[in-house]
Amino acid sequence: MGDPVNLLPEDSTPHRVLSANGAKLIKTAEGCGKKRADGRFDAYPDPATHGKPWTIGYGTTGPDVVKGVVWTQGDCDRRFLLDVQHFVNQVAALVGQHKTSQNQFDALVSFQYNTGHLADSTLLKKHNAGDFAGAAAEFGKWVHANGAVMPGLVTRRAAEAALYAKK
């Protein structure tokens, strides 16, 4: 028998998934806001920008999320799975072959899910350079919206940094 054959191209991104801990972090931070008495959910204006974009479920935005949209819990759960996979794929491509633990990956996906700015961040540069302590410290710099510190972002970034640093 010969050596095992690597069927992946050398520049391919390793397959990565979001763990249950990562999904819980995102869902807790995002909430599934604006639940009605009938158990369904109303779209609501983004709290940071007071209306642009509109949001529903676990932080879902997009052209299909506008004032008056109503979803069931099942709609929220299904869309979360679709939305989060998009961010998992983005983060997997951004970290590529760089050493990344599952906890680090989960924290980076949460960050990207919320900000969409991992690609151009010092956080990513430090992570990919192997400066994990420096990268963990970067989360706390992303707590502003519309020029103001948002307590919810302070809490979220602290949770992301703690998960990122966890062995």
Active site residues per annotation:
30
Token duo for residue 146: 């519309």
Q: Is 159 left (phi over 0), alpha (psi -120 to 50) or beta?
A: alpha
Token duo for residue 44: 């609501």
CA distance 18 to 85: 8
CA distances (Å), 89 to each of 108, 155, 156, in order?
A: 11, 25, 21
Please, are residues 110 and 83 in contact by the beta-carbon 8 Å criterion? no
